[in-house]
A and B are shown apart, each in its own frame.
Chain A
């Protein structure tokens, strides 16, 4: 059985370059408007719908102390009206066309998207072009919306012990890199934003030459190019601020914190500083790190599930994660929820041992092939979602990578050797480069478990 699978894998990988690389297969069409706005179009005619996204190269990774979270706050205000369209009209217009729309902010980008029937693409682009230039930022809307943002922060972070632990962990892990800033911002900063702060951020970053339009769906590339020229073409380019490197100060020893918060289940986070595609000096390194994450936590057959969950039963769950798509160095993350009654030191030791094993012995052929097979299959499964395809293109371009890299991804993973996995483990998984955080549960109610009582509404 095993032999047969191996053969199939090899066959598949030999065939891969023929269909996943740009030379032969990719249908992505790239255009550049005169004002510097990049337009990527990927036709997918399976259904008469389209996913349209505008990505701005600005996020919490461009922020500094005092205004943290302002990219996210501005994202909220982008729905609050332009000179031609009052607050709420954007959402009402898209809704009337049967569209879905939303936006999201991350460290490196802020993105806005609509999914709708193809014939309405022009409307979506007209609305996006309007708010790229003409946002009004009215004071009364601003006051209400910042209340919403504070509620969002309370919901996602303050009352979520694992998220709270991550926020503190992350802030300690990074000294000079802006990645220590929480995407949603610190509450004290949210409390003190002014309309002028948002206006300044908008004027600084929202320009066609800092934006990428990605359209995936039942469209003709030239027609999208025409629409993009019509709607975005008239918006003049601006001088963009120089993005300073803000390279992380070398870490000189382990950092370790405890987060004490009302909770019931302890939670461990460990992060090692590692490069990404944008920063790696050797181009195989990010892919080897990705394979290392897959060996540890690429499903039920990976080492964490097999050894820590099922064999030793030390943890209820454990994870490893790494994303090579960011502008600056990132963290290779481990997380674990101990099984009831297991000592924290024992859990930590088990995770460390798993990393030591990656350093000491090459990963087996079977493990490597499994990770590669999963990557190959996921590349196919991803094609089922037009939104997923648009996300991939936008994310690559907004962190500063060419979209073509997405088509090479499976091939790059295929090329990773056991020795390379061992090499990245030895190079990066050192105690002196790591940050460790434990969630230490405080009793939720010291005397009594949560009880119910009937009450009256005031």
Chain B
């Protein structure tokens, strides 16, 4: 069904009765518990006893930035884990997860290779889910037939990207801003890169990067500490200790701005404007994050939304963000608009950014941004899945354990001068890479 939004988630019985007969009064203890397994897998655990479910997220430093000479290798490895492992084929693995209502998910981005397991905590069901999970993680088969199929599917996905002007714009933006860097290519890979990948490549990639010292495990849910420790040891036990992947090369700022236009027969143009922004753990992180909230990160109350949508009706969606990654991820402004008004929209956005970089935000604007971020903070950790997202991110990027507890205080401590100085130093409108796709029928 289509919806349209204004803008574009004895033990058994006892547990269940506890859920509904006793009102859910046990909040998740937001303090993150941390330890390492014997072979060096870092574990981050938040008990959340109110619901009889558990989420495990295993993240390896094994995203497409590790593809090397085979763009698409990291994603194929990640995708094919569930295609056959130990003595089980893909059908059996899927039956084992789904037969106990467990949800298994695999995803591969530029930095992260992610494996998710969501299961009920009912012991027999959890046992089946975990046994399957550790087999998939530790003993994948990587058959030639599975590889060939996954490669063909990836090629179809690449074709589908080529019929989507937004996807073309995103791809072009990364290829330009990160030319020569491992972030340059899409995690989906390239036709050439996919072509000569062999099962041997997948096995080597798995043995190198899916290892304890190159990963973290986040656990959130209805487990106590000893149950969490046992689960973590069991997952870690299928991994060799291995080594952490080396740091990625630093990202260079472009010397000068440039504009790239790509022909595409669409009614709207899709525009991305930006340049390298910041890495996770950057000293300016809070200043840039809060400043951007006012510029284009704060939804309907941001300056870009005000200028482009509310005052001029030029676009449905307009935004800006910093995407902090292991190496400097992008600072990006984006919009989609009818081709005939593309230049106007780009000019308004550029002017809005220039004003913001030159003059910054004032006391009232900062206070409004702080109020929104601080007031909204409880929403981020109101669910197990929200907690899991934050804890896995903290763990993967090695942020301090008190990151969540001190988050609001660090936002509130900012002064306009601090934010504006950082923005002026880190964002340079003269060096924006602008990608414009579409509007040519």
Contacts and interface: CB of A to CB of B under 8 A. Distances in A.
A388 B316 CA distance: 25
A72 interface: yes
A450 interface: yes
Contacts of B164: 160
Given A5-B99, A154-B267, A450 B347 contact: no
B25 A45 contact: yes
B313 A144 contact: yes
Given A47-B27, A454-B260, A27 B301 contact: no
Question: Which of A88, A147, A151, A454 has its CB near the most chain B CB atoms (within 10 A)?
Answer: A151
A167 to B, nearest CB: 9
B265 interface: yes
Nearest to B28: A46
A381 B313 contact: no
B385 A384 contact: yes
B265 A444 contact: yes
16 contacts: A4-B124, A8-B122, A47-B27, A97-B375, A98-B372, A102-B6, A148-B315, A159-B165, A159-B268, A182-B2, A300-B98, A310-B90, A380-B120, A444-B264, A455-B261, A456-B259
A457 B347 contact: yes
B336 interface: yes
B338 interface: yes
Contact of B374 (A98, A374, A387, A450): A98
B20 A144 contact: no
Contacts of B379: 49, 98, 100, 115-116
Interface stretch (A126-134, A195-203, A260-268, A413-421): A260-268
A385 B316 CA distance: 27
B4 A184 contact: yes
Contacts of B343: 457-458
A302 to B, nearest CB: 8
Given A19-B20, A340-B156, 16 more contacts: A25-B21, A47-B378, A107-B2, A144-B310, A148-B316, A158-B266, A161-B163, A262-B163, A300-B93, A313-B149, A337-B156, A373-B99, A381-B103, A444-B265, A445-B263, A450-B263
Contact of A444 (B52, B162, B314): B162
B335 to A, nearest CB: 9
A149 B316 CA distance: 7
A75 B6 contact: yes
B378 to A, nearest CB: 5
B98 A301 contact: yes
Contact of B19 (A161, A166, A298, A383): A383
B300 A79 contact: yes
Interface in B73-96: 82, 90-91, 93-96
A15 B12 contact: yes
A373 B3 CA distance: 28
Interface of A: 1, 4-5, 8, 11-12, 15, 18-19, 24-27, 43-49, 72, 75-76, 79, 87-88, 91-92, 95-100, 102-107, 115-117, 120, 143-152, 154-156, 158-161, 166, 182-184, 262-265, 298-302, 305-306, 309-310, 313, 316-317, 323, 326, 330, 337, 339-340, 366, 369-370, 373-374, 376-378, 380-381, 383-388, 441, 444-445, 449-458
Contacts of B124: 4-5, 8
B51 A151 contact: no
Contacts of B377: 98
Given A5-B128, A316-B156, A48 B9 contact: no
Interface of B: 1-9, 12-13, 16-17, 19-21, 23-28, 48, 50-53, 82, 90-91, 93-103, 118-120, 122, 124-125, 128, 149, 152-153, 155-157, 159-160, 162-165, 168, 172, 258-268, 298-301, 309-317, 336-338, 343, 346-347, 368, 371-379, 381-385, 434, 436, 438
Contacts of A115: 379
A72 B5 CA distance: 8
A24 B16 CA distance: 12
Given A15-B13, A116-B375, A265-B160, A380 B6 contact: no
Given A12-B122, A183-B4, A455 B91 contact: no
Given A76-B6, A310-B149, A144 B312 contact: yes
Contact of A12 (B12, B260, B262, B311): B12
Contacts of B156: 265, 316, 337, 339-340
Contacts of B159: 264-265, 340
Contact of A104 (B5, B23, B53, B172): B5
A436 to B, nearest CB: 19
Contacts of A26: 20
A183 B384 contact: no
Nearest to A321: B1
Contact of B99 (A98, A147, A369): A369
Contact of A91 (B119, B259, B300): B300
A92 B364 CA distance: 13
B126 to A, nearest CB: 11
B152 to A, nearest CB: 6
A306 B51 contact: no
Nearest to A47: B382
Interface-central residue, A26, A87, A300, by most chain B CB under 10 Å: A300
B349 to A, nearest CB: 11
A88 B163 contact: no
Nearest to A217: B382
A385 B153 CA distance: 33
Contact of B4 (A48, A72, A388): A72
B12 A323 contact: no
Contacts of A105: 3-5
A64 B102 CA distance: 44
B88 to A, nearest CB: 11
Query: What 3 A-B pairs come out closest when comparing CB atoms?
Result: A98-B375, A377-B101, A147-B313
A155 B259 contact: no
A432 to B, nearest CB: 24
Given A151-B337, A378-B101, A316 B163 contact: no
